[in-house]
Amino acid sequence: MPDALSITASSVDPGLLSLPWSTPLGEWPSSNIVFLPKGLSRHLVRFANLSGRVVAIKETTAEMARREYDMLGNLDRLDAPCVDRVAVIDGRTDADGRELPAALVTAHLKFSLPYRALFTQVLRPDTAGRLVDALAVLLVRLHNVGFFWGDVSLSNTLFRRDAGAFAAYLVDAETGELHEGGLTRGQRLHDLDVARTNIAGEIMDLEAGGRLEGGVDAIAIADGIMSSYHSLWAALTDEEAFSANESWRITERVQRLNDLGFDIGEMSIQARSDGTKVSIQPKVVDAGHHTRRLLRLTGLDVEENQARRLLNDLDEFRARISRLGDDEEMVAHEWLTRVFEPVIKSIPFELRAKLEPAEVFHQVLEHRWYMSQARGKSVPLAEVITSYIEDVLRHRRDEATLMAPETETMALPVITADIPIQDDDEADAVDWRDLV
């Protein structure tokens, strides 16, 4: 262990001291390395075991490592979707005393995948569109807290499944800047233009590798982030004017933002002196409306679309047992213990790394709907769960810790553990009715 080794961390894990920092990252022994899929990066990035969890280690300069470490900490305090920082390792030297690059250590985001790992053969247009939509939501959320990314791309993003859609997380913040006064329109449009250019290049790269479905237009997919971003940004920030006797429009605006998954922290309301017009404009908008409600009611911390789906089922349960007047927290506890937890506990232990519990529950509800449609009647939940486990879940690949070859680009997976592999993109396209 080098005498000058310096570890910067808000909470130091003693396991950091046992990692081979005196060895260049590219030469670390396989006993320390976890082979997970990763995106393209200008730096060397590898995954390692640290005290029973997986971390990502990136070699870079000491200045850049500390800057990104601080930036990730600031984004976390702002509740922005990003990976968690772990430590900065500096003062590394090899056995001969030669200096080695500093390292930034971040936590691996469980159940997340880089975009290249979401498919193993060809990319379908609907999957590409959902990824771009997720990236647009992420960019809006980052811009809303004053973060200028500077290098927006699919490669610098991790994706988690979110009830039929995807949730995007920033994974590379080394080019980012935080502006307390918010971003100018020019800064936002610059990020958006960079995103469009990078996405087009990434999709074309897939096309060159024969991994793009025929007829897919890379430029059209890249253009999708422009319309998605502008539409969401307008919904969150545009000023709206209406007649003074249409005060219900305020409630409607709030509901519309809630439906998009955002809460209003402050709203500016101005009325003309003659009382003929009223204008409103949201001032502070926080994402995670449904996530926060579900967390408050049940303690479940899930993605936004998953929370929306679980809340819908909770509300249906409340109506079904005729307790609309009962305390919401009491009904939520009953739903949790009588509906959600039995479904999750029914999943065999060896299959629990396939998907997050909330995603499993969402897919069980989907499976039940398709089975009921096919039979023309409601199917008992116990039968649905058995069918889902045997016909769907057992054939999916594990997404908690997906093993893959040690490579910067994703080819067909070489399995280093007993994990069944299925092309996720192909699985997304399967009609659930064909599975029951």
DSSP structure class, residue 65? H
Burial 376-387 (b: 16+ CB within 10 A, else e): eeebeeeebbeb
- How is 288-339 classified by DSSP, letter by letter? -HHHHHHHHHH-----HHHHHHHHHHHHHHHHHTT-TTS-HHHHHHHHIIII
Enumerate the domain spans of the chain. 6-107, 112-237, 240-287, 302-435
Provide the CB-side half-sphere exposure for 83 (13 A, CA).
29
Asked if 240 contacts 281 with a C-beta cutoff of 8 angstroms, the reply is yes
CATH H superfamily, domain 112-237? Transferase(Phosphotransferase) domain 1 (1.10.510.10)
pLDDT of residue 428: 35
Q: For residue 251, what pLDDT is reported? A: 81
Chain centroid to CA 372: 31
* Per-residue model confidence (pLDDT) at position 88: 96
Residue 397 phi, psi dihedral angles, 5° rounding = -85, 155
Q: Tell me the C-alpha distance between 115 and 127, whole Å.
A: 10
Specify the amino acid at residue 342: P
For residue 427, the number of C-alpha atoms closer than 13 Å in the C-beta half-sphere is 17
Instruction: Report residue 314: phi and psi, to 5°.
Output: -60, -45
Contact yes or no for 163/308 (Cβ under 8 A): yes
User: What is the radius of gyration, based on Cα positions, of the chain?
Assistant: 24
Q: What is the pLDDT of residue 318?
A: 85
**Inter-residue contact 128 to 428 (CB < 8 Å):** no
Give me the amino acid identity at 1: M
> What is the DSSP-derived secondary structure letter of residue 11?
S
Tell me the one-letter amino acid at 164. Answer: G
Would you state the pLDDT for residue 354? 85
In order along its 436 residues, the chain shows pLDDT tens digits of 445 789 999 887 889 999 999 999 999 998 899 887 666 677 899 999 998 889 999 999 999 999 999 999 999 999 899 999 999 999 999 988 899 999 999 999 888 888 887 765 566 667 888 899 999 999 999 999 999 999 999 999 999 888 888 899 999 999 999 998 899 999 999 999 999 999 999 888 877 777 766 667 889 989 999 999 999 999 888 888 888 778 788 888 888 888 888 877 777 778 877 767 778 777 666 778 888 889 889 999 888 889 989 998 998 888 887 665 678 888 899 999 999 999 999 999 989 888 889 999 999 999 999 999 888 888 888 999 999 999 999 887 666 654 443 333 333 232 223 323 233 333 333 332 232 2
Cβ distance 243 to 276 under 8 Å? yes
d(CA 64, CA 152): 18
Q: Which CATH architecture has domain 6-107?
A: 2-Layer Sandwich (3.30)
Q: Is beta strand 53-60 parallel, antiparallel or unpaired with respect to 102-107?
A: antiparallel
Q: What is the DSSP letter of 14?
A: G
Q: Given the structure tokens 């390395």, which residue do they identify?
A: 33
What pLDDT is recorded for position 4? Answer: 78
- In angstroms, the CA 351 to CA 357 distance is 11
Distance separating alpha carbons of residues 115 and 46, to the nearest angstrom: 17
Q: Alpha helix locations (H) across 209-303?
A: 218-237, 248-259, 289-298
Is-contact 305 162, C-beta < 8 A? yes
Give the CB-side neighbour count of residue 284, counting CA atoms within 13 A: 4
- Other C-beta atoms closer than 10 Å to the C-beta of 306 total 26
Please choose, from the candidates 163, 153, 71, the residue with its C-alpha nearest in 3D space to the C-alpha of residue 359: 163
Chain center to CA of 99 = 36
* d(C-alpha 190, C-alpha 339), whole Å: 47
End-to-end CA distance of the chain: 57
On whether the CB atoms of residues 49 and 32 are closer than 8 A, the answer is yes
Instruction: Report which DSSP code applies to 409.
Output: S
Task: Name beta bridge partners: 271.
Answer: 278
User: Reduced to 3 states, what is the DSSP secondary structure of residue 396?
Assistant: coil
Positive or negative, the CA dihedral 45, 42, 154, 208 is: negative
